[in-house]
Amino acid sequence: MIKKWIQKRISNNPSFEMVMFWGILGSCWLTTLVSAIYSLFEHISTTAVVGCFLASLFFFVLGAIAFITKKYRASYFVMCFGLCTFIVSPLFFYFGGFHCGMLLYCLASILICALYSQFRGRVVLVSYAVILYLTLFAYAWKHPELSTQVPPDYTIRDIMTSFVILSGLMFSIVSYLLKAYYQERRTKDELIQKLDFFSTHDPLTSLHNRRYFIDYLKEKILSNPREFFILMYDVDHFKKLNDKYGHLFGDKVLARIGEIANAFCLVPGEIAVRYGGEEFIQVIVATDLERAFAKAEAFRNSVSSISLDEEPSAKVHISGGLIDCSKPEYTSHDKMLSSVDALLYAAKTSGRNKILHQE
């Protein structure tokens, strides 16, 4: 019930700090409420019953304030301070001092303080709780008359009940915190994977990006250029497509080309790259220029068949240049890129919708 109430009121991707606050607050609220009901049925002093109900009300009000303000770290600090000062300490005397299970609650409250997210605040809260309880124990030992007198059989019953309640409390807190921790860890791992992916890929087309291609060119192709061919191409009249049909349509065209480009990477070593804007690169693996050119032409024809539902009449064509990376003049990646770029420019100026290659 508490878990569902929390999940309805916090964000879809809550922080670990937020989840920890709600988990511990809910557990403390339930524990004080159960203690109040138990005290009522056990005919313990009215003061103890009222104290437990007020403690339950404290957690409820604090939760409402935290929900409104969203200041979970400050609310957690207030919760720990109030728990030690105004709840556990007075109830220690109301329930019978050393003749009840409140010693267990003192330890539990210190553990809750130790879970505060900020180190400095954690040290302050734990130090405060330890000093407070040591002072409390010393005072209760010197003044036993301040503690409510309880029959011997009540002592063992209360200790056993407190042990059961706190075991459930600790189990709930630890389980909830572990779940929150693993959820946050999984979220971070997914984010790291996405960042790693987009460091080498283009977010629109999911093709490799320019940086990855340059590294690939230097490390893979230049070291053994045999059977590697580079096709550089771009979309003909892409600006006119954008102006006529809108930039969203232009993005869909680029994304569709990206899908086709990925589908054409069938041989190990072949990659598709969005080089920049509407300019792309296809690394082709083939035994000779004729076969590489046939692949390039098949790719150009596939792009020409693109038809998008939004604008079925729109025609998409590409122009490109193709080079054989094994030619001896290509001693650096710059020379390769300059050469294929010159062929692309020649294809654009000689009519478009074609692929040119070196003889």
The boundaries of the domain holding residue 80 are: 2-197
Q: How many CB atoms lie within 10 A of CB 197?
A: 11
- Residue 205 domain-assigned (yes or no): no
Predicted confidence at residue 327, as pLDDT, reads 92
159 and 27 fall within a common domain: yes
| Cβ proximity of 310 and 245 under 8 Å | yes
pLDDT digits 0-9 by tens, 165-212:
778 777 877 777 777 778 778 888 888 888 888 889 999 999 999 999
CA–CA dist 184, 297 (Å, integer): 48
CA–CA dist 36, 201 (Å, integer): 59
164 and 231 fall within a common domain: no
CA–CA dist 122, 80 (Å, integer): 10
| Cβ proximity of 148 and 96 under 8 Å | yes
Predicted confidence at residue 31, as pLDDT, reads 81
CATH number of the CATH domain containing 244: 3.30.70.270
151 and 225 fall within a common domain: no
pLDDT > 80? residue 290: yes
The packing angle between helices 72-82 and 119-142, to 10°, is: 10
The full DSSP string for 227-241 is TEEEEEEEETTHHHH
Predicted confidence at residue 37, as pLDDT, reads 82
125 and 239 fall within a common domain: no
107 and 233 fall within a common domain: no
Mean pLDDT of 262-286: 94
- Residue 66 domain-assigned (yes or no): yes
**Domain final position from 197, 221, 256:** 197
241 and 181 fall within a common domain: no
23 and 168 fall within a common domain: yes
323 and 179 fall within a common domain: no
**Domain final position from 174, 197, 220:** 197
Cα–Cα distances (Å) from 50 to 85, 91, 151, 187, in that order, read: 16, 10, 21, 43
Q: Is the Cα torsion angle 10, 11, 15, 16 positive or negative in sign?
A: positive
**Residue 291 tokens, joined:** 């076969």
Structural domains of the chain, count = 2
CB neighbours of 55 closer than 8 A, spacing ≥ 6? 32, 35, 36, 86, 87, 91
- Residue 203 domain-assigned (yes or no): no
Look up residue 100 and give its DSSP letter. S
- Residue 328 domain-assigned (yes or no): yes
Mean pLDDT of 291-306: 94
CA–CA dist 156, 311 (Å, integer): 81
110 half-sphere exposure, CB direction, 13 A CA radius: 15
CA dihedral angle for residue 15, residue 21, residue 26, residue 31, rounded to 10 degrees: 150
122 and 29 fall within a common domain: yes
% pLDDT > 70, the chain: 93
229 and 163 fall within a common domain: no
Q: Which of 305, 282, 302 is nearest to 357 (CA)?
A: 282
% pLDDT > 90, the chain: 50
Identify which has the larger pLDDT, 257 or 149. 257
- Residue 202 domain-assigned (yes or no): no
**The one catalytic residue among 42, 278, 279, 359:** 278
CA–CA dist 344, 320 (Å, integer): 5
**Domain final position from 172, 197, 222:** 197
Band the pLDDT of 44: cuts 50, 70, 90. low
Predicted confidence at residue 76, as pLDDT, reads 92
Predicted confidence at residue 43, as pLDDT, reads 65
pLDDT > 80? residue 244: yes
CA–CA dist 56, 93 (Å, integer): 18
CA–CA dist 43, 31 (Å, integer): 18
Q: What is the mean pLDDT of the chain?
A: 87
Identify which has the larger pLDDT, 50 or 327. 327
pLDDT > 80? residue 6: no
- Residue 204 domain-assigned (yes or no): no
222 and 262 fall within a common domain: yes
Cα–Cα distances (Å) from 63 to 73, 179, 197, 279, 327, in that order, read: 12, 21, 40, 55, 72
Identify which has the larger pLDDT, 60 or 168. 60
Catalytic residue at 278? Answer: yes
